Structure 1
Amino acid sequence: MARALPQINTKFKGAVQKTEQEKKIAELQAEVEQLRAVSAPELEAEIEKLRSQIQQSSGEVEVDVNLIDPNPNQPRQTITGASIQNKARLLKKHGQITSVILVPYKDNRYMLLDGQLRWEAARFLGWETIRAVIVPQPQDLEQSSLLTFLGFEDLNPLDKVEAIIKEIVKTTDFEESEISTTLATVIKRIERDSKVKELAKLIDVSSEEQQQGLSELKVEGAEQDMFLILLELGLNPVSFRTNLMPMLSLPQDLKKAIRSNGLKGAHALALSTLTATSLKVLEDTALKERAWATDKVLKKNLTVPETRALIKEIKAKYLKKEKTESKEIKVVIQKINVLTQGTIEGASTEQLTELKELLEQKLAAVNQALN
């Protein structure tokens, strides 16, 4: 990604203020000592509550895994059994290195803001608790989740684009079906004005400068709202349209391969060219060829160029090389058409015999070529 995402700092501002934490801890510890001095048994429950507050204020706390719920609107929709087992092996070998991030939920429960794979792996291992940092719930939980997940390199492009589209629909007046067309129209206008570089520069400036820059590029109103969302997420709108938007049009079998088998986006786009139309075959045949090619790409871990070479081989099986029209044949056809019945009847027997033999030889060659 081109830059850090400044919005994340403001979303969790209340969670990592070191000086304020230390002050709060000192106050809580003093309160515990006052309660201890009273030595009243009925105050033990209150002391335990304060101990819990001290743990939370210090940054990390052990949370019962059964009190945690996944975020239903998180961008990562792809968590396979294999990925959970891989993460479980790492947790078992190295322990939990990074805390999960939770927000207070309801009925004394917590919702995951970051760390679902670690949480799933901990449950797989039978852990009773997991180390967590509890932060205040952001005003916009969905956008905070999106900002968090966009920083992960392993977030697949399909999950990423679907989450971004959802954010655009929620924040602007656009319907999902309008986004692609509007984005393409505005970018084409910017390209026509040779202002693409000016658009790319807006990724690294403040929100105010982004808004001013878009106005100078004649991107106003609802169009500007859409572009501001992409820029806030650290995305170049041109790159988003070229590299991510096509993911939405992939056939279902390739979307499943991305989510379940880890197929890369660039490979999926290449494989998507194996269609019934391009191969000039029935849909079932095209699907079988695409499934076979996808399986080979995954098993052999093919690069994108290698994948394209494989696709070229498959297409060569179905598509015969188109032959250009022969000028010589065209001339011969014209001359034969000139031969009238009178011309033929007026020729000698020797000429007609020679013509017949020649035509029969050429007719045999034509049949062979056609077959």
Structure 2
Amino acid sequence: MPDRKPTARKAPDLSNYFSGAKQSQQLSEAEEEILKLKAEIEELRSSGSNELEAQLKELREQLQSQTGILSIPIEQIEPNPEQPRQTFLPESVESMSRSLNSDGQLQPIILIQREKLLLFDGERRWRSAKALGWEALQAVIIPEPESLHRKALLTSLHREDLNPLDKAEAIVREIASNTELDASDIPRILSTVVRRLNMQKRMNAVAELVAEAPEKQHSVLASLGLSDYEQAVLSILLDLQLNPASVDANIFPMLSLADDLKAAIRSGLKGMHAIALQKLSAKNLGISEEQAHVIRAETTKKVAEENLSVIATRKVVNEVITSHQTSQTEITSTRKPVSLEVRRLQKLSFDSLKKTERSELLELQDTLRQKLTEIETILRDVE
């Protein structure tokens, strides 16, 4: 695994990698050059280099001149089951369809050769082309990288349009596949170690390791008195150039969201909005789970339709909670007088009733009969 370099590293000149490749209809004849290229692409993507797109454009031009780009029937292409991105919004696919329809395919998709051709990069273009009824797409075929999920994760992880739920699930899958941990235990382990290191005021030192070489990362982690599992989790996150504290605070909370909010994220809701809406729980509202689900759905719809900011969303959520807490207080206050009167009646002993004037007893009897009739009417309506 190549050492991670600081982000200030100069981007490599990709144009030299294919200068000696033979012209061929299959890129597999240039495997060594391609593997070098993929390593550099991953490093550039993960470091956020501004030179990446220019380099890739130059590469595509060279590949095309060497007839490395092939026309592949869409029916022969299948999505990658290890693709970190699980969410493809309809409007995003439609936008790409309009682009393909008006301008054609500007960039080739990248495929991996197995028994079938798997998508490594370009699934949105593939989905859009299928929607348009295209029969083929221009593609580059590369040898399958080792640790396919990690490679796909690196190409997707730092893109702004990868939603936090897809990101959280992909990170957990990567950690689980490289450790003996159950996926459900990973967020808890991370939260525990981050909380402890924060108390020890050593979390900042861990965050600074993101840009360091693996040897430095392992050396520092080994000095922190971590359990094997804690060290493994932090090591993998740092290898992915992720700040563990940020993952704990902003990404892994997506995994504990209510199912309806997870669905909303996959439909375009932002992660921080979902975290705010999560407060509309049955416990906070003092109502049933079914009722809370309805209120969350209504509030989520309002947030989406009005395009509310996170701050505005929090305000709306607090207003909804306050409104329901007030209603519950009012309901409780109407119940208290009834309870008090019941207790008062229970305190009327037989001896005290014997000492009461007949006229007062008759008046009490009439009142009780009238209230009993009202209670029976209410109970029938409830049924």
User: Normalized against structure 2, the TM-score is what?
Assistant: 0.69
1:63 aligned counterpart, secondary structure: strand
Say yes or no: does 1:281 pair with 2:287: yes
Q: d(CA) in 2 for partners of 1:225 and 1:143? A: 15
2:196 aligned counterpart, secondary structure: helix
Look up the equivalent residue of 2:147 and give its one-letter code. D
One of 137, 142, 160 as aligned partner of 1:135: 142
Say yes or no: does 1:97 pair with 2:106: yes
1:134 aligned counterpart, secondary structure: strand
One of 51, 72, 77 as aligned partner of 2:81: 72
1:237 corresponds to which residue? 244
Change (3 A) 1:320 1:207: same
1:170 aligned counterpart, secondary structure: helix
Contact 1:25 1:58 in 2 (8 A): no
1:315-358 deviations in Å (ceiling 9; x for gaps): 121113989xxxxxxxxxxxxxxxxxxxxxxxxxxxxxxxxxxx
2:306 corresponds to which residue? 300
1:132 aligned counterpart, secondary structure: strand
2:274 corresponds to which residue? 268
Q: d(CA) in 2 for partners of 1:59 and 1:299? A: 46
Contact 2:71 2:137 in 1 (8 A): yes
Say yes or no: does 1:61 pair with 2:70: yes
Look up the equivalent residue of 1:102 and give its one-letter code. L
1:23 corresponds to which residue? 20
Q: d(CA) in 2 for partners of 1:288 and 1:138? A: 46
2:326 corresponds to which residue? 320
- What is the RMSD computed on CA atoms of the aligned residues? 2.7
One of 254, 257, 260 as aligned partner of 2:264: 257
Q: d(CA) in 2 for partners of 1:57 and 1:230? A: 38
Say yes or no: does 1:88 pair with 2:82: no
1:322-337 matches, within 5 Å, as none
Look up the equivalent residue of 2:22 and give its one-letter code. I
Residue correspondences, number = 285
Q: d(CA) in 2 for partners of 1:220 and 1:136? A: 37
User: Normalized against structure 1, the TM-score is what?
Assistant: 0.71
Question: Sequence identity, in percent?
Answer: 39
1:230 to partner: Cα distance: 0.5
1:339 corresponds to which residue? none
2:203 corresponds to which residue? 196
1:151 to partner: Cα distance: 2.6
Look up the equivalent residue of 1:257 and give its one-letter code. A
Structure 2: 5+ residue stretches without partners:
6-11, 26-62, 331-383
Q: d(CA) in 2 for partners of 1:127 and 1:27? A: 25
Look up the equivalent residue of 1:25 and give its one-letter code. K
Change (3 A) 1:214 1:318: same
Contact 2:23 2:68 in 1 (8 A): no
1:118 aligned counterpart, secondary structure: helix
1:165-244 matches, within 5 Å, as 165-244=172-251
Which range moved further: 181-190 or 286-295? Answer: 181-190
1:245 to partner: Cα distance: 1.0
Q: d(CA) in 1 for partners of 2:234 and 2:322? A: 42
2:52 corresponds to which residue? none
Change (3 A) 1:226 1:56: farther
Look up the equivalent residue of 1:302 and give its one-letter code. L
Q: d(CA) in 1 for partners of 2:117 and 2:291? A: 49
Q: d(CA) in 1 for partners of 2:166 and 2:113? A: 25
Contact 2:238 2:244 in 1 (8 A): yes
1:310 corresponds to which residue? 316
Change (3 A) 1:227 1:57: farther
Structure number with larger C-alpha Rg: 1
Q: d(CA) in 1 for partners of 2:295 and 2:229? A: 43
1:295 to partner: Cα distance: 0.3
Contact 2:89 2:268 in 1 (8 A): no
1:147 to partner: Cα distance: 1.0
